[in-house]
Amino acid sequence: MSSFFDVILTTDFAFSVLRVMTPILFAAMGALISNRAGIVNIGLEGIMLVSALTGVVVSAYTHSAWIGLLAAAAGGTLIAGILALFTLQFKTHIILGGIAVNGFASGGTVFILYLLSGDKGSSTSLQSKVLPSVDIPLVQDIPVLGPILSGHHILTYTAIVAVFIVYYLLNRTPLGLRIRSVGENPQAAQSVGVSVVRTQYIALLLSGLFAGLGGAYMSMGYVSMFTRDMIAGRGWIALAAEAMGRSTTLGTSLTSMLFGAADALSNALQVLKIPAELIGTVPYVATLIGLIVYAVSETRRKKGNKMKTGQAVKK
């Protein structure tokens, strides 16, 4: 057991939590926005994958990591836009639309990768760029905290800023109010003049944008190339984080961090011969339990309310 804590209680471990948390946090913010508008976007996984490839390809051809990042974000938004067009305009069921996006991404990225580089596995032959890491002045000199907080990838800091932006957007702006009202009760929102379809469009596009940033981080920061199926379930974890965070910005960020920690842990614990396969399931089990507890308490509450109103009527 002492070796277990030896692994966890190091600045390296805390640093790696932030590192692996970044893509999950981005995608979870995407999941949060679309869920608040009443849309379960299970295409996040695919959107991230497409963006990861877009970032690599565009940065390789333009020799600029920043244009690559821009293209990755735009690519994510575009895929989300297509998904939105079909689900909102043509009434494809959102789940089927999401499956289509994921299927397209996992095969389509390999297809395009093969056409461009002649390799089906990874993009090693493309001279892609990576985005820089940043040392924060002053902070990096603080003992313990310095090595944890400083020296991260620029998108890691962006992800943390994104949390505040999303919080502000959802809770302090008219658009946020519209998104939330459409998610809670579309009919009511419609009746007071909120365009449901337009709001959901915006929410889906934003969710694609965030997932796209997460994808860009994967191929231009976490590692420096694209490999097939490199997102490896992070889109699903983001949905789990969102569900377990009960669709609040704070809760979602905290659970993303928790899942990041679980992910980092499964990397770290391989040294200790605890099967990584089982540790990998921990976030999902935790989410499942969280969901069950929440669903049970919700049902109890509703039943309680019904009983109360029932008694009131009798009187």
Partner 1 sequence: MVAFLIISIVSSQPWQTIKIFLLEPVSTKAHFGNVVEMAIPLMFTGLALSLLFKANLFNLGAEGIFYFSGVVAASIAIHAHLGEWLHPAAAVAAGGLVGAALSAIPGILKAKWNANELVTSLMFNSILFGVGLYLLNYKLRDAKAFANVSYKFEPTALLDKLVPGTRIHSGLLIALLCIVAFHFFVYKTKWGYELRMTGINREFAEYSGIRTARVIILVHLLAGLIAGMGGSIEVLGMYNRFQWTALPGYGFDGALVAMLAKNKPLAVVGAALFLAYIRVGADLMARMSDVPSEMIAIIQAVIILLISAEQFLKFWKNRMLLKEAAKS
Closer to partner 1 by CB, 14 or 27: give it. Answer: 27
Residue 255 structure tokens? 């659970």
Closer to partner 1 by CB, 155 or 241: give it. Answer: 241
Closer to partner 1 by CB, 5 or 90: give it. Answer: 90
Among 111, 145, 270, 304, binds partner 1 (CB under 8 A): 111
Mask of contacts with partner 1, 115-144, x by CB under 8 A? Answer: x----x------------------------
- Using the rule CB under 8 A, is 101 a contact of partner 1? yes
- Using the rule CB under 8 A, is 227 a contact of partner 1? no
Give least dist CB 9 to partner 1, A. 26
Among 39, 220, 243, 258, binds partner 1 (CB under 8 A): 243
Closer to partner 1 by CB, 133 or 247: give it. Answer: 247
- Using the rule CB under 8 A, is 99 a contact of partner 1? yes
Give least dist CB 64 to partner 1, A. 27
- Using the rule CB under 8 A, is 90 a contact of partner 1? yes
Give least dist CB 85 to partner 1, A. 9
- Using the rule CB under 8 A, is 33 a contact of partner 1? no
- Using the rule CB under 8 A, is 304 a contact of partner 1? no
Among 16, 51, 102, 181, binds partner 1 (CB under 8 A): 102
Question: What's CA 13's distance to the chain center, in Å?
Answer: 21
Among 240, 258, 265, 268, binds partner 1 (CB under 8 A): 240
Sign of the CA dihedral 249, 250, 253, 259?
negative
Nearest Cα residue to 215 out of 86, 47, 94, 40: 47
Distance from C-alpha of 50 to C-alpha of 108, rounded to nearest angstrom: 8
* DSSP characters over the chain: -HHHHHHHSSHHHHHHHHHHHHHHHHHHHHHHHHHHTT---TTHHHHHHHHHHHHHHHHHHHS-HHHHHHHHHHHHHHHHHHHHIIIIIS---HHHHHHHHHHHHHHHHHHHHHHHHS-SSB-TTS----PPEEPPTTGGGSTTHHHHHSSEEHHHHHHHHHHHHHHHHHHHSHHHHHHHHHHH-HHHHHHTT--HHHHHHHHHHHHHHHHHHHHHHIIIIISSS-BTTTTTTHHHHHHHHHHHTTT-HHHHHHHHHHHHHHHHHHHHGGGGT--HHHHHHHHHHHHHHHHHHHHHHHHHHHHHHHHHHHHHHH-
With contacts defined by CB under 8 A, how many residues of the chain interact with partner 1? Answer: 46
Give least dist CB 277 to partner 1, A. 4
Question: Which parts of 279-298 interact with partner 1 (CB under 8 A)?
Answer: 280-281, 284-285, 287-288, 291-292, 294-296, 298
- Using the rule CB under 8 A, is 274 a contact of partner 1? no
Distance from C-alpha of 152 to C-alpha of 221, rounded to nearest angstrom: 10
Residues that bind partner 1 (CB under 8 A): 40, 42, 86, 89-93, 95-97, 99-104, 106-108, 110-111, 114-115, 120, 233, 236, 239-240, 243, 275, 277-278, 280-281, 284-285, 287-288, 291-292, 294-296, 298-299
